Structure 1
Amino acid sequence: MPDESSGVRRYAGARVRVGGGRARLCPAAAPGPDMVAGQFSVLSPGTERRHLAGEGRDAGYMTLGRAKESAGWVLAPVPHGAAFDPTCPGAVTAPPGMAPNLAALARFQQMACLGLDRASAVRLDDAVVVGSGPVALGCALELHRRGATNLRVVTTRRHPSIGRAPGVTCVPLAQAGRGHLVIDAAGAPQRAAGLTAAGGVLGLLATPTAEDTLPALQAHRGGWTVVGMHELAPVDEGVYQAAFSTVAAWLADHLDPALAGAWCRTIPGRLAPELFGLLDTPRRPTEPVLLLDWRTS
């Protein structure tokens, strides 16, 4: 997105505009000086659905590009397919040779890594994640990396692919019980709050709406710790890249390649309007991580 503090535009040529319930394609822009072309971009379904219903705006926030073929992918917080400055705030670089879908999965896991670093003394043996999309998948993987072996994932989907993540058991809301660590990865903070045990930690990983509220009296009496886990919350210099490098290396060493295929799908960028039209329907792709390929679009 534009760097508001300096007035410098960090990207050019967003490929998708949304608003009024529809998405439309836009032409590519030639990269400006010191910019790289956006070759892939990643959907965040909850955010995309909210923006679809609003006024016209550039869509997306995670685009991949690189300066040369031998370099690692740079993932930048800019709209779908835009050319961008690889040094823009919030950009991270994947190890050379890492596939774009694995880099995207690592980026979702990075969100949970940074958020959990803000939640001290959490009990990983009694954790609940609300949601089964890409944010929830990244969170489940990060909890497993940290030692969780039995994780309840609350979802309304039948046979969600997140159920193949290590240690995950998918349950409906009525069967979830309470947990000492509950993480909202679906933008449903009230639902997550209802699952938080006394003395527990409630983590807000997905972005809520401006109208969402939390039960303050229940949090007060229950002695909860509520942790904001926004991915771009302030951190010391170098922490953002270090978190990404840590989870990317872990995924490269531990993830079964077959699972990457089950969790990630790449779709030609020219089909973006059709894909956006499916996000709120039963025909939405089952893979949590959806990439748009802009190289030939």
Structure 2
Amino acid sequence: MPEEKPAARRYVGARIRVGEGRARLVPAAERGPGMLTGRFSVLSPGTERRHLAGADREAGYMALGRTEEAAGWVLAPVPHGAAFDPACPGAVTAPAGMEARLVALARFQQMACLGLDRVPTDDLSDVLVLGSGPVALGCVLELYRRGATRIRVVTTRRHAPIGRAPGVICVPSEGAGRGRLVIDAAGVPASAATLTAPGGFLGLLGTPAATDTLGALQVHRGGWTVVGMHELAPAAEGAYQDAFTTACRWLAGHLDPALAEVWCRTVPGGKAPELFALLDAPGRPAEPVLLLDWGTV
């Protein structure tokens, strides 16, 4: 979620604070008038790890809530477990009837949908994605929706669940070769650059560290086009909600329901500190999409 001070009444009652390498639960606050209860939280492992290493702060990425009258989930960029204003900046609404896991998947596909609008996708015969986390998963799903039938995914994980996505072939970096269109979904642009073919396109979808660089001479000699794919980059009015709706409807109509079990894990909110402790450990959950359930706390 953005590094900013919360606007008045945008949310209240963040349930997790992180910093100095650990996460801790805090008591729930009373929900404000007109606010939705944060029923589920969607985690972004990379974001959470960065926040864990920093100073004490509220933890959060995306929250899911809905009123008793509304059939569709509202997804908002507010802290974990917080109640929130459904009209807060960045909030989007899912079509009626979708389960929370599919809405969480759609959030990551939404990012790719907005980012891929910035690169040429008329020829998806030679596409390569770096990473196997939730951002990469959303990316390969969107690439498949756009017509890609063979997507090389570079990952160090053995038996990565992303390998179950349609069209995906998991490969190690040593044997991956190069691609005309390379999407860095792991936030490691220097590694992605080594996989980009001369004259190719390098899309930066994952968030790099502030200290990461790409050499201008390297880009110049490679003849690359480097494209920033941040979801909040300037776009047409309504594009943010439209991309989310597109992803939701496509997943609801095309995804094998069994894959939600493979890709998503829901953990009781009260177990959040234990889950955060595993995010950078060998025993971290294999599922790329992680949700916290606050209905059990």
| TM superposition score normalised by structure 2 | 0.96
Aligned mates of 1:258, 1:192 — CA distance in 2:
31
Contact 1:2–1:9, Cα closer than 8 Å, also in 2: no
CA distance in 2, matches of 1:28, 1:199: 53
Q: Distance in 2 between matches of 1:122 and 1:88?
A: 35
Q: 1:112 to 1:2 in 2, by over 3 A?
A: closer
Rounded to whole Å, the distance in 2 between the matches of 1:183 and 1:260 is 23
SS of the equivalent of 2:200 reads strand
Opposite residue 33 of structure 1, the aligned amino acid is P
Any idea what SS the aligned residue of 1:147 has? coil
Q: Is the 8 A contact 1:122 1:180 kept in 2?
A: no
Aligned to 2:278: 278
Cα distance in 2, alignment partners of residues 46 and 291 from structure 1: 14
**Distance across 2 between alignment mates of 1:123 and 1:216:** 26
Aligned residue in 2 for 1:103: 103
Deviations 1:262-283 (A, max 9, x none): 1011110000000000011121
In structure 2, the partner of 1:262 is 262
- Counterpart Cα distance in 2 of 1:69 and 1:87: 16
Residue 166 of structure 2 is aligned to residue 166 of structure 1:
yes
Pick closer, same or farther for the CA change 1:29–1:269 going to 2, 3 Å.
same
Query: What is the 5 A alignment of 1:1-297?
Result: 7-68=7-68, 70-121=70-121, 123-297=123-297
In 1: Cα distance, 2:161 partner to 2:252 partner: 19
CA distance in 2, matches of 1:69, 1:170: 43
After superposition, what is the alpha-carbon deviation per residue over 1:8-48, rounded to whole angstroms, capped at 9, x for unaligned?
Answer: 34111111111000000111122212211100001100111
For 1:191-239, what per-residue CA distance to the aligned partner results, in whole angstroms no more than 9, with x for missing partners? 0111111111111111111100012111112221111111222322211
Contact 1:202–1:226 (CA under 8 A) maintained in structure 2:
yes
- 1:198–1:224 CA contact under 8 A, matched in 2: yes
| Superposition RMSD in Å | 1.7
State whether residues 161 and 286 of structure 1, in contact with CA within 8 Å, keep that contact through their aligned partners in structure 2. Answer: yes
Distance in 2 separating the partners of 1:110 and 1:6? 23
Q: Distance in 2 between matches of 1:141 and 1:206?
A: 15
Tell me whether 27-36 or 195-204 shows the greater mean CA deviation.
27-36
Which residue identity is paired with 1:170?
C
Percent identity reads: 73
Is the 1:49–1:280 Cα contact (8 Å) retained in structure 2? yes
The separation in 1 between residues aligned to 2:154 and 2:130, in whole angstroms, is: 5
Q: Distance in 1 between matches of 2:233 and 2:61?
A: 15
Aligned-partner SS, 1:295: helix
- Does the 8 Å contact 1:30/1:37 carry over to 2? no
Unaligned runs of 5+ in 1: none
Aligned length: 297
Alpha-carbon separation, structure 2, partners of 1:176 and 1:254: 28
TM-score calculated relative to the size of structure 1 = 0.96
Query: What secondary structure sits across from 1:143 in the alignment?
Result: helix
